[in-house]
Amino acid sequence: MSEGTYDSFCPVAKACDVIEPRWTLLILCELWLGTLRFNEIRRGVPGISPTLLSKRLKDMERRGLVRRAEINGGELGYETTPLANELQPVVNALGKWAHRNLDMDLSIDKPDARLLMWKIRRKIDTNAFPRRKTTVIRFTYPELAEEQRNYWLVARPGQPVDLCLLDPGHEVDLFIRADLKAMTSAWMGWSSLRTEIDANRIALVGDQKLTATLEKWMVRSIFATAPKQQVAA
């Protein structure tokens, strides 16, 4: 039933009752990124079934982590509560611990371009873009099959950045061609954008200003600043 089942007065046990059910923390992370709607959460939390997401969101609502809220048009979405938000620094510390210590090799062996682009999209800083003009950036991962190779980020002034899997037809301001692992690695902070560009694993063609300000508008994972632990010599 997803009831708390440790019958202990230990606060850690109480906390575990709340955070242990599978997907709970990942759903919170996605909501903290600003995701509002059911199917958006699905995209940001790869692998969860709609059934389980639905159930988990209800569990989380019952526990006071999440509430249903109106988006700007009478539609319903999800948002985190203050109770959940107090947990955010803890979850970040947890992520930093994993970033420092845990081997990521397995996951980067099967990187997921669509998920990566979804994450990149969320953190694009449009302040570095022209104010009055739509900016379009095309990412290409040549190693992938034709249909999964290209992604367009479309930044219309004053609107959230859009991710397209099909050519939206706009003129492209900047073309980025990249090795998928290299882009993942740079975004996660295991390397840097500069390193990967210098090694020719990421290449930019197009608008000079966008190229020059890449590191400004392409904000990386919040874990990218945490240094990777040095392996003992």
Partner DNA sequence: CGGGATCCGTAAAGATACTG
Partner DNA sequence: CAGTATCTTTACGGATCCCG
Return the number of the residue (57 or 120) whose C-beta is nearest DNA.
57
Return the number of the residue (119 or 138) whose C-beta is nearest a copy of itself.
119
Q: Cα–Cα distance between 51 and 77 in angstroms, integer?
A: 17
Q: In the set 39, 88, 225, 229, which binds DNA (CB under 7 A)?
A: 39
For the record, the structure tokens of 121 come out as 């999209």
Binding letters toward a copy of itself, positions 174-193, x by CB under 8 A: ----------x---x-----
Q: Which single residue is written with the structure tokens 């004053």?
A: 158
- Tell me which of a copy of itself, DNA, none is bound by residue 98, counting a contact when its beta carbon lies within the kind-specific cut-off of 5 to 8 angstroms: a copy of itself
Site for a copy of itself in 2-21 (CB under 8 A): 4, 6-16, 18-20
Q: Cα–Cα distance between 189 and 220 in angstroms, integer?
A: 7
- Tell me which of DNA, a copy of itself, none is bound by residue 25, counting a contact when its beta carbon lies within the kind-specific cut-off of 5 to 8 angstroms: a copy of itself
For residue 78, CA distances in Å to 17, 66, 69, 149, 224 come to 21, 7, 6, 31, 27
Return the number of the residue (8 or 88) whose C-beta is nearest DNA.
8
What is 99-129 written as a DSSP string?
Answer: HHHS--HHHHHS--HHHHHHHHHHHB-GGGS
Beta bridge partners of 138: 152, 175
Q: Which residue in 92, 111, 123, 121 sits closest to 185, CA to CA?
A: 111
From start to end of the chain, where are the E strands? 66-70, 76-80, 135-140, 150-155, 162-164, 174-178, 202-206
For residue 144, CA distances in Å to 7, 15, 83, 151, 219 come to 50, 42, 42, 12, 24
- Nearest approach, Cβ of 24 to DNA (angstroms)? 8
Return the number of the residue (166 or 231) whose C-beta is nearest DNA.
166
Stretch that binds DNA, among 17-25, 95-103, 122-130, 131-139 (CB under 7 A): 17-25
Site for a copy of itself in 77-136 (CB under 8 A): 83, 86-87, 89-91, 93-102, 104, 106-108, 110-112, 115-116
Contact residues: DNA, CB under 7 A: 1-3, 5, 21-23, 37-40, 47-52, 54-57, 75-77
Interface residue list for a copy of itself (CB under 8 A): 4, 6-16, 18-20, 22, 25-26, 29, 46-47, 83, 86-87, 89-91, 93-102, 104, 106-108, 110-112, 115-116, 184, 188, 221, 223
